[in-house]
Structure 1
Amino acid sequence: MTWDELQPMLLPACWDTLYMVLWSAAIAVVVGLPLGVLLVLTDSGGLLRNTAVNKVVGAIVNVGRSLPFIILMVALIPFTRYVIGTSIGAEAAIVPLAVGAIPFFARLVETAIREVDHGLVEAVQSMGGSTWTVVRKVLLPESLPSLVSGLTTTAVALVGYTAMAGAVGAGGLGDLAIRYGYQRFETNVMLITLVILVVLVTVIQLLGDFTARALARRGKRASGA
């Protein structure tokens, strides 16, 4: 395949990949962030200690994380059809991508929040702060750099998931690599899509690392002040 034939397909494929990653990452944050916070709050020693809730939520998260994405995607085809109306295309792929990313991000949120100095939590509580105040004023702001790093890791993983989603007609760079690079033995297509995916992952990682470091420096200046 010549470059003139490939070029018109690359831009839509790149857009589909970014579209899937951005939307599924956003859904993962909206759902996974509260789940991660809930895991910390309901754990032993947490502000809302509740063993039953903690174990149920933890079990759901563990099951979601343990399923290989390709199996999860196939298993969710009926649900995807119910929600989107089809199981093919970039929009349909967002459903399994988000479902796979939510438990992954929730565990990263849990880890990030556990790193927060408990003394800060006790200080807010001693001043009469409620659980919501502790979460809003201490846990989330103090763990923000780690949360950004966790989101970066999730987004990078989602790029890989979109490539697998291409195997079942989700579109994007993975679909382009499989249909033309693998099935039609177009080695140049495979190499170009791989290079673009590597560049995309690198850019996401660099942006995430830069943002996390900037937030960490700002936090140190604020605490020093």
Structure 2
Amino acid sequence: MENDEIFLAITSAAKQYLLLPEQLSKRELATYKHKKSTKAQQQFLASRGFIKYHLAKHFSKTTNDIELVFDYENKLIKAIHSGCFLAWVSLSHSGTHIAIAYSRSISARLGIDIECLARERDFLALAEISFSTNEQRQVAGADNLKCAFYSYWTVKEALAKATKTPLTQLFLKDSHEFLLRQGVSALTIKLKNAICTLIYPANKKLTFESIS
């Protein structure tokens, strides 16, 4: 794996990757126990299982020896194997979907966001307080209002993660212009019941590991 290379994996079957609490490290277990709901705990177990599955497969490691710790300075998950650094991971989950992007390079500014399309909301009202004038116009004129809204929303969420910018500071700003200024690219993937956007450095190689 080249240090500059970025890998992307998405699943719509989160339950297939559920870990048992006893499979977590002490630090992971402490985070798990702080989750306030059963749903949040299940999401934690599934997302960590998904990450460990892909990292173990990619690096030819065992999942039990991989530890995942959130790095608050870099806003990424730090994967460690037997005490040694393995990779940086950006994570998003929504409903039964999990999306991850990972790289060995800390310079690879990563941000990923996935949103399920099941929930109905007042998308025009949300766009009015969150999107630029041009983005609002694009959403309002779209044939599929929900898909259009989430195509722009996931860009902002992922962009906030990748650039360590508070999400509210991206409201009413044109995301495309912000992307250009930051030197990053956006890849939006429309799945059957979800939309996912990855933000990554424009000069980095991206590899699709799996989309299921």
Coarse TM-score class (shorter-chain normalised):
under 0.3
Larger radius of gyration: 1
TM-score by length of 1: 0.26
Question: Structure 2-normalised TM-score?
Answer: 0.27
